[in-house]
Structure 1
Amino acid sequence: MARSANSKLDSFLKRNTSRDVYERIRACEPCVVVSGSVKKVFMHVILSDERVYLSEYRPRALRKALSFRDITSIELVNDLPDFLSGQHRERSLHIRVVHTAKNAGKKSTEPKGFSQNEPVCPPASPLIGLNLGAHHSLEETSSVLLSTRSAPSESTGCRISPSSMSDGGLLEEDSSIITKRRSTSCPNKDLLGLSLFQPPSPALSSGSSIAPSPSIPNQERWAPSFSRRSSSLAKLVRRTLAEKDKEDEDDKEEELHLYAVSPTSRIYLHLQSSWSSYIIRSTLMLDPTYRKRCGMSSSSPEELKYHKISWERTCHLFSQLSGELLQEDISLESLYLLLQELHTATYRNPTIKKLFWRSSDLYPFLVKTLSDSSQATREGIHTVDRFLLCTLVVQILSLMFRETEIEPARLSMLTAKQGALTANMLLALVCDPELQLPDSTNGSQSSNTTLQGLQADYLDAASALLFEVVILCQEASRIPALGHFLTVSWVLRMIKPHPFLLPFVGYQAQQVVLLLSDEQYPVSPSQAVLLYQRCRLLLACLQHSIYLSKYIRTTFKEEFRYYVKMSALKHKLPQQYPISQPTQLLLSQLISLVLQKP
């Protein structure tokens, strides 16, 4: 959980919520809340990775305000609320969250892959909804905020310090159904509380050095087993669409207004980040392959039950894996297998992301590995090994960036030595999308085709990681008090000298055009997410770089004018994909900027 400066709230949440709910809380901040059932009440706004909760300023009950799945927009409102006065009125941050609400008595549903019955603590005394009495009113909770005071004094109750993460737990299946495998570096069977699902590796050429070896056992520390029942994505899409069409008839639009009164408020950034993370994650959860990777049954993920292991045990297993990765003279095969273990374990256990950023060695190690492999590729050494390794490293980095914005160690790591490591990562990430391969015989053409497919996978992963970096910088630039240099302009300035920057960006734009001009529809959930990420990346290039903006407009104006049609998006992006509407908004902005006259 992201602990707030209010120790009473933290203790209240820890004492009255389940461990699962507590560890998934991302941020807490006091705000004045206005909604259909709450009228100008000073409350704690609590964000998890799925929902927004509310609690009285002196916490007594934790109640669900809305789910991220029902949000349609989050926006800032430029106004001066008349119920605040003085400095509080001038520096207040008004956030409007528009969301749909089900009719009373209608059972709400959660997307597959998420718990449907999260326990929340009951009120200490009988309350009807959130229609709080006089003792919960804004007047008594924080009278200094009221406009009846002509010269209000500073109220410490209106401030919270930047939040930080607490130690969480690692997910583990019931020991009775885990297939335990002995690790070569962990002979003690009592320490093997986790097994790792090893996804099938891509087909490798006979000359590849990354291949299963009897001398290096497949280490499976951290993954629960899962049911392998077959499932059809098409059936899931049709069923979900039918259910949504039926429910939409009874949906109505409501608004939740939050007024942050702290000058260092980050609630807007946390809301945007949490919502973005949710729509990406919940869309990917519609993909059976992704759900298997996360250790969930593709047909009924709600049936999977998890147990927690201690933070100490998690740290031990992570330290063990880190030590194996950082050992000297490690073979390419061993490195690949260990990185696969780290990748899959992180999908199952978000706690590992915290440990990754708190480690002083792993991020520099991955950047160096990517840089060395990229350099070999630029020198014409195109091998299956290198492409597989580079893609895996980029996927791990992208995963570590996702949903870790409130981890303080991440910002410290990225800004160390004036961002030298981050700049190296960005330069190593960009590559030439055209493979410079020699003329080949019929016998080696299939090998070249394999390399081209692997490079396409790498370019997809690279766009996803650049998206994460752009999102990080956009959030960081809105907090000038932190005094760091991370901005989107800085990112684009760092990669501008790269000789293949223009072809790399052009490839990303070309993939957007090709996907939207293709008559095949609908796109898969993973394609929809990749489209969303590429649109955000291209928008950043258009908005923050004159150099790249001129290139995109000059090269792709006609393609966007004639091949990208907004009217076809409803077929390309199914309504049941949570990411569909945000992607349509991004595409509308992107097309407008590309076609804009100079």
Structure 2
Amino acid sequence: MARPGPGSVRLDRFLRRNTERAVYERIRTCEPCVVVSERVNKVYMHVVLSDERVYLTEHPPRALTAAVSFGRVRDIELVNDLPDFLSGKDRERCQHIRIVYVTDEPAAVGWDWLRRDKKAGLPPPAPPSRRNSHCPSITHNFEGYPAERSHGGWRKEEVHMIKPTRSASCPNPETLGLPRVPHPPTQPLSTEPRLYSPGSSPTSPRSASGQSVKTVESGQAPRRVGSVLSRLLRRDRVTSGEEREAELHLYAVSQTSRLYLHLQSSWNSFIIRSTLLLDPLYRRKCNASSDPSPGKQRPAISWERTAHLFGQLSSELLQDGISVESLYLLLQELRTAAHRNVALRRLFWRSNEVCVFMVQTLEESLHGCQSLSGVHTADQLLMSIVIVQTLAVMFRETEVEAARLNLLSAKKGALASRMLLALICDPRPQTQNRGSQTGSELQALLSEYLDAACSLLFELLLSGHETSRCFSVDNLLSVGWILRVLQPHPHLLPFIGHQAQQVVQVLSELQESVLSPVEAVLLFQRCRLLLACLQYHSQLAQHLRSHFREEFRYFVKLSCVEEKLPPHYPISLPTLQLVKHILNLIVHR
């Protein structure tokens, strides 16, 4: 997991000690924030972010409680305001993050334990065009994909209460003008179940999604049931099952906070992964843990074992004189293993040699070893496909891996520049002097490569968005920098044009078929690519408007888009929002 600063040592120990390993290894980052919700009023807490949900815990940590699952999030927005409960520099540098999600729980009448003002309410919604002064305007936010039916937005976790104390390494909430956490009653309510009986071993309450979070027992107060946080969040569920929108407000008081970026990235990864897992072939390839039969699941591989196996595979890849066939098979093995193991993806970025070798091999396969006629061979395209697909997988869920940023930004982004320029190729048919059957096979392979190249470019742009949002758009590895690196490439305009044409073709009324999960994800990635070109590069924006305005005007209808994107795909509504935005920028501007 990523550790944001010195004050996180105690929290890291708490998480390592009191969460299952599978949960701990999926934690991306944690930050102290002031939290405001329907249940909590301006409480200084730790926000713990994993790949699937947002957790909250007291400051200092006592119990970990799931606040909201990404499966229920509708929007994550950075609000530009000055919170009146903060003062001085804290007020000016605060980043206000609003998470809108759906829940089937009843609306809270007011704040329970920490309510000071009964007339106080949630911060009023800010106009969507206003943002923090240190972050440039974000013109698009994902909105509204279907909510998970398995559990509510706030998950209840019963834990033992520990005597409230405050670590010297943790900021005092009173310096932020926040209320002190009151002591709960010394005896538990009769309606609250006991998790532990004296002398019993701790158990792990299991959430509706199948994950469990361990709890901590205090020797100082063995008979107290339920932490302050758990009591604040405890409510009876709605029996009717009706859903409504709720909001969770996080106020990060650190000027260098990257919590918003991690939230957006985690949400983006979640909707892609959860949509792909709807595809049976992809689920088998990833050995998805969502398989309801525990006996069919592979046992988790330890970090040490993963590192050992990756070291063996790396040494085989980098050996001298390796044949093309052996190299291709090893890369296939690496790609499959990376799909199933996020630890391997992190190790990949810590091993500079493998990434550099793959970029060099891509350069040689796609551009350096073409035949005299300039036509790719099937072997070259197959090798290029597996390299680009493997690199795209390596980017997934490794945003907090410092080695990734260090490697890509080293020497003024030399390796990132090589990767970008290597993956762009001419998308036009290359069938000179070849039979029709061979030519069609090559064109099919070229189309598959172009799909993979779009996915990898999407991952690079996604990483660039994180840099662009809180730093200058001209910063190294930002979206603007990425598009400037690609600008001199002779095949950039045909490549982008191909991606736009594929969007039109997929969404055209002439094609009535519903998109598969894999096709829906690829459409989402292509739309993000087009949107980046329209927003960050004037030449590419003009090219898209001049060459594709009529196609988008007459062939892309929102009603048809809705029919092609099944509502149960988590990625459907975010994709629909992207299409609306692209239509506005291409057709109506």
- Give the shorter-chain TM-score range: 0.7 to 0.9
> Which residue matches 1:312?
304
- The partner residue of 2:417 within 402, 409, 423 is 423
> Which residue matches 1:19?
21
The one-letter code sitting in structure 2 at the alignment partner of 1:353 is R
* 1:486-523 Cα distance to aligned partner (Å, 9 max, x none): 11121111111111111110000000000000432321
- The partner residue of 2:280 within 276, 283, 288 is 288
Shift of 1:306: 4.1
**1:322 and 1:23 mapped to 2: Cα distance?**
23
Is contact 2:552-2:583 (8 Å) kept?
Answer: yes
1:270 aligns with 2:262: yes
> Which residue matches 1:123?
159
> Which residue matches 2:358?
366
Equivalent position SS for 2:10: helix
Shift of 1:135: 9.4
1:144 aligns with 2:138: no
Shift of 1:427: 1.1
Shift of 1:251: 0.9
The one-letter code sitting in structure 2 at the alignment partner of 1:259 is Y
> Which residue matches 1:73?
75
* 1:115-145 Cα distance to aligned partner (Å, 9 max, x none): 99xx997533189xxxxx9999xx9941111
Q: When the two structures are aligned, how many residues end up with a matched partner?
A: 485
> Which residue matches 1:501?
492
Is contact 2:103-2:244 (8 Å) kept?
Answer: yes
Q: 1:340 to 1:581 in 2, by over 3 A?
A: same
Shift of 1:452: 0.7
1:397 aligns with 2:433: no
The range that moved more, 484-493 or 347-356, is 484-493
Q: 1:341 to 1:134 in 2, by over 3 A?
A: closer
* 1:378-426 Cα distance to aligned partner (Å, 9 max, x none): 8524222111110000001101111111000001110111112211111
The one-letter code sitting in structure 2 at the alignment partner of 1:55 is T
**1:284 and 1:430 mapped to 2: Cα distance?**
25
* 1:128-166 Cα distance to aligned partner (Å, 9 max, x none): xxxxx9999xx9941111189xxxxxxxxxxxxxxxxxx
The answer for unaligned runs of 5 or more in structure 2 is 107-145, 180-237
The one-letter code sitting in structure 1 at the alignment partner of 2:50 is S
The one-letter code sitting in structure 1 at the alignment partner of 2:28 is R
Q: 1:274 to 1:11 in 2, by over 3 A?
A: same
Q: 1:537 to 1:90 in 2, by over 3 A?
A: same
* 1:223-265 Cα distance to aligned partner (Å, 9 max, x none): xxxxxxxxxxxxxxxxxxxxxxx99961111000011100111
1:90 aligns with 2:84: no
Equivalent position SS for 1:361: helix
Shift of 1:303: 5.7
**2:392 and 2:461 mapped to 1: Cα distance?**
12
> Which residue matches 1:60?
62
Q: 1:588 to 1:303 in 2, by over 3 A?
A: farther
Is contact 1:16-1:121 (8 Å) kept?
Answer: no
The one-letter code sitting in structure 2 at the alignment partner of 1:510 is Q
Is contact 1:415-1:484 (8 Å) kept?
Answer: no
1:445 aligns with 2:432: no
Q: 1:489 to 1:302 in 2, by over 3 A?
A: farther
Is contact 2:60-2:166 (8 Å) kept?
Answer: no
> Which residue matches 2:528?
536
Is contact 1:279-1:578 (8 Å) kept?
Answer: yes
Equivalent position SS for 2:300: strand
Shift of 1:297: 8.4
Equivalent position SS for 2:283: helix
Is contact 1:366-1:393 (8 Å) kept?
Answer: yes
Is contact 1:111-1:282 (8 Å) kept?
Answer: no
Write out aligned runs for 1:537-552 (5 A): 537-552=529-544
Equivalent position SS for 1:308: coil
Structure 1 vs Structure 2 CA RMSD: 3.1
Write out aligned runs for 1:436-585 (5 A): 436-440=430-434, 444-480=435-471, 485-517=476-508, 518-585=510-577
Q: 1:46 to 1:437 in 2, by over 3 A?
A: same
> Which residue matches 2:344?
352
Equivalent position SS for 1:59: coil
Is contact 1:528-1:579 (8 Å) kept?
Answer: yes
Q: 1:303 to 1:583 in 2, by over 3 A?
A: farther
Is contact 1:297-1:304 (8 Å) kept?
Answer: no
Is contact 1:489-1:545 (8 Å) kept?
Answer: yes
**2:243 and 2:166 mapped to 1: Cα distance?**
33
Shift of 1:90: 1.2
Equivalent position SS for 1:329: coil
> Which residue matches 2:583?
591
* 1:255-299 Cα distance to aligned partner (Å, 9 max, x none): 000111001111100100000000000000000111011024896
1:47 aligns with 2:49: yes
Shift of 1:316: 1.5
Q: 1:578 to 1:431 in 2, by over 3 A?
A: same
The answer for unaligned runs of 5 or more in structure 1 is 128-132, 149-245
Equivalent position SS for 1:103: coil
The one-letter code sitting in structure 2 at the alignment partner of 1:123 is V
**1:539 and 1:558 mapped to 2: Cα distance?**
17
> Which residue matches 1:388?
382
**1:14 and 1:421 mapped to 2: Cα distance?**
35
Equivalent position SS for 1:269: helix
Q: 1:134 to 1:483 in 2, by over 3 A?
A: farther
Q: 1:303 to 1:260 in 2, by over 3 A?
A: farther
The one-letter code sitting in structure 2 at the alignment partner of 1:27 is T
**2:487 and 2:239 mapped to 1: Cα distance?**
49
Q: 1:501 to 1:482 in 2, by over 3 A?
A: closer
Q: 1:83 to 1:297 in 2, by over 3 A?
A: closer
